[in-house]
Amino acid sequence: MRIAIASDHAAVDLKAALREYLIEQGHEVADLGPDTADRVDYPDFGYKLASVVAEGIAEFGVALCGSGIGISIAVNRNPACRCALVCEPYSATLAREHNDANVIAMGARLTGEDMAKACLDAFLAGQFAGGRHGPRVDKLSHPSC
């Protein structure tokens, strides 16, 4: 899979670890930055990640910041993105199955590396269930549906 990953300064170490983990799993990974722990603004990286996913350059995105909250809000400003903030694997699975999430967000200050990897595995293994969830997901990008 083609996966884009981005963070702010608080999550740059977790981003590096997850990038390497995804590469080891055989995925093509686009690291959208930042490259250092110098202070940056999470909306800039959230918007960049959302654009790459919305344009189809990447199939999925991984958004990281200190809590995961700010960057998930930024990603969700793009109507083509459905970013789910998760902290354990079951919510990551449900994000794919029920919400057809195409971006996963996590907080580096709240989620350890092993748990983040488990969430990522569950997210990428999940499949959208469709059915009753389909019309609901359509409304997320098209409120008039």
Give the active site residues. Answer: 65, 98
Cα(69)–Cα(42) distance, integer angstroms: 10
Give the DSSP per-residue string, 84-125. Answer: EE-SSHHHHHHHHHHH--SEEEEETTTS-HHHHHHHHHHHHH
Which residues make up each annotated binding site? 8-9, 66-70, 99, 109, 132, 136
Annotated binding site for D-ribulose 5-phosphate: 8-9, 66-70, 99, 109, 132, 136
Q: What is the dihedral of CA 74, 117, 23, 97, to 10 degrees?
A: -60
Closest C-alpha to 103, from 132, 124, 131: 124
Using alpha carbons, select from 62, 73, 1 the residue that is nearest to residue 32. Answer: 62
